[in-house]
């Protein structure tokens, strides 16, 4: 398969995890860009990257780079991805794809205009256990799916200045953690036909805990829980008329699951044995495939679905009362 030459935009926590997985998978990591030369140099040394740029502009202008991985905080995703697309680069953008649906639509439009891949880095979709779950569902093993449930709950820093809690950094449990269960529900049941959400906001105006109940085509139900204030089961289930799937903790990372019949018999067990690193390389390999085969869109999470997911998150945020500073400016 033809590979791509990767450039990493930003040098924070997840950029390091992604770079490490790219290296483990033997992909071509050729450049990094940071707001400072010092961080770019340190990151380049750590992952043996040949070129370190002192600005995001310099990174996207690098002629040796084919695809940019955007790993800044949520409010910067849209502008950073736009910068890369305007420079003619494909983009893999960290979750949450953007702050809201309008920004997501803008990236979708620009990618289509320029003939470039625009893909959300919802790495879970590309993991081996999720691929197997899709096969089981497609084979009809579960019967008609009636309910999906998932949580993403972690005990994370309560410092108001932390990315998770600061509105100006796109903070909130929903966009950082809840995106996983909401994306999972979209994957299995499609976009919701109705949404009911409750949440608790902290003093910064960001959400710390959010629960949703949604309905889907045919009246199927979903429930999601996101919280940055306590570690819960981090498990997921898909309940059908003929069988259910229970995905073990931590369901959105490489893990185990079982297909269980109504009488309790385990019909299949799956273990993610072959995953070498954290598992972030599967999305990178998929991105390389979509460019090589000319489809320029993900078959596992098309950009149109990322747009729809941002729409669902917008609706949940409207119900719990979370608005980001740039949205206040946009709408007066």
Ligand X SMILES: O=C1CO[C@H](CO)[C@@H](O)[C@@H]1O
Footprint of ligand NDP (CB under 6 A): 10-15, 34-36, 39, 71-74, 76, 94-95, 123, 163, 169, 176
Closest approach of Cβ 181 to ligand X, in Å? 12
Which one of ligand NDP, ligand X, none interacts with residue 94, CB within 5 to 8 A by kind?
ligand NDP
- CA distance readout (Å), 69 to 16, 85, 155, 239, 273: 11, 12, 27, 35, 26
The length of the chain is 332
**CA distance linking residue 93 with residue 71, whole number of Å:** 7
98 in Cβ contact with 91 (< 8 Å): no
Smaller CB distance to ligand NDP: residue 95 or 244? 95
Closest approach of Cβ 218 to ligand X, in Å? 30
Between helices 13-24 and 281-292, what is the axis angle to 10°? 70
Closest approach of Cβ 171 to ligand NDP, in Å? 10
Smaller CB distance to ligand X: residue 176 or 209? 176
Which one of ligand X, ligand NDP, none interacts with residue 35, CB within 5 to 8 A by kind?
ligand NDP
Count the neighbouring beta carbons within 10 Å of the beta carbon of residue 222.
24
Closest approach of Cβ 81 to ligand X, in Å? 17
- CA distance readout (Å), 281 to 130, 192, 229, 240: 14, 30, 29, 31
Out of 176, 207, 209, 305, which residue is the one contacting ligand X (CB under 6 A)?
A: 176
Closest approach of Cβ 199 to ligand NDP, in Å? 18
**CA distance linking residue 158 with residue 224, whole number of Å:** 22
Which one of ligand X, ligand NDP, none interacts with residue 154, CB within 5 to 8 A by kind?
ligand X
Smaller CB distance to ligand X: residue 89 or 163? 163
Closest approach of Cβ 10 to ligand NDP, in Å? 4
Closest approach of Cβ 210 to ligand X, in Å? 15
- Binding to ligand X (CB under 6 A) within 129-168 occurs at 154
Which one of ligand X, ligand NDP, none interacts with residue 46, CB within 5 to 8 A by kind?
none
Residues near ligand X (CB under 6 A), total = 2
Closest approach of Cβ 94 to ligand NDP, in Å? 4
Q: Which residues contact 29 (CB under 8 A, 6 or more apart)?
A: 6, 8, 19, 22, 23, 47, 49
Which one of ligand NDP, ligand X, none interacts with residue 10, CB within 5 to 8 A by kind?
ligand NDP
With binding defined as CB under 6 A, does residue 120 bind ligand X? no
What SS3 state is found at 24? helix
Which one of ligand NDP, ligand X, none interacts with residue 11, CB within 5 to 8 A by kind?
ligand NDP
The residue number with the shortest CB distance to ligand X is 176
**What is the 8-class DSSP label of residue 144?**
S
Q: Which residues contact 200 (CB under 8 A, 6 or more apart)?
A: 207, 208, 209, 210
Question: 116 φ, ψ to 5°?
Answer: -125, 155
**CA distance linking residue 261 with residue 162, whole number of Å:** 44
**CA distance linking residue 105 with residue 274, whole number of Å:** 36
CA dihedral 136, 141, 142, 148 (to 10 degrees): 0
- The answer for 33, left when phi > 0, alpha when psi is -120 to 50, beta otherwise, is beta
With binding defined as CB under 6 A, does residue 207 bind ligand X? no
With binding defined as CB under 6 A, does residue 100 bind ligand X? no
Which one of ligand X, ligand NDP, none interacts with residue 76, CB within 5 to 8 A by kind?
ligand NDP
With binding defined as CB under 6 A, does residue 98 bind ligand X? no
Contact residues for ligand X, defined by CB under 6 A: 154, 176
């Amino acid at each position: 398969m033809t590979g791509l030459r990767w450039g990493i935009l930003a040098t924070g926590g997840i950029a390091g995890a992604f770079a490490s997985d790219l290296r483990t998978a033997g992909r071509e990591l050729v450049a990094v860009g940071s707001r400072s030369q010092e961080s770019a140099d340190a990151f380049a040394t750590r992952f043996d990257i040949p070129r370190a740029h002192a600005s995001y502009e310099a990174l996207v202008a690098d002629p040796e780079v084919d695809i940019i991985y955007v790993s800044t905080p949520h409010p910067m995703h849209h502008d950073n991805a736009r910068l890369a697309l305007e420079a003619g680069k494909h983009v893999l953008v960290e979750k949450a794809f953007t702050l809201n649906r309008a920004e997501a639509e803008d990236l979708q439009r620009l990618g289509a205009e320029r003939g470039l891949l625009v893909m959300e880095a919802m790495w879970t979709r590309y993991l081996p256990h999720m691929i197997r779950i899709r096969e089981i569902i497609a084979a009809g093993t579960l019967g008609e799916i009636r309910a999906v449930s998932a949580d993403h709950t972690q005990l994370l820093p309560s410092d108001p200045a932390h990315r998770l809690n600061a509105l100006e950094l796109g903070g909130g449990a929903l966009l950082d953690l809840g995106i996983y269960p909401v994306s999972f529900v979209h994957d299995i049941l499609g976009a919701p036909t109705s949404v009911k959400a409750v949440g608790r906001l902290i003093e910064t105006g960001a959400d710390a805990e959010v629960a949703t109940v949604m309905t889907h085509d045919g009246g199927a139900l979903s429930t999601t829980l996101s919280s940055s204030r306590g570690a819960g089961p981090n498990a997921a289930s898909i309940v059908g008329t003929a069988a259910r799937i229970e995905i073990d903790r931590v369901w959105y990372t490489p893990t185990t699951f079982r297909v269980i019949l109504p009488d309790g018999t385990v019909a299949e067990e799956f273990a993610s044995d072959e995953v070498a690193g954290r598992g972030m390389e599967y999305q990178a390999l998929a991105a390389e495939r979509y460019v090589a085969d000319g489809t320029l869109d993900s078959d596992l999470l098309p950009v149109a679905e990322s747009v729809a997911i941002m729409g669902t998150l917008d609706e949940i945020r409207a119900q719990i009362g979370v608005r980001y500073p740039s949205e206040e400016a946009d709408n007066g």
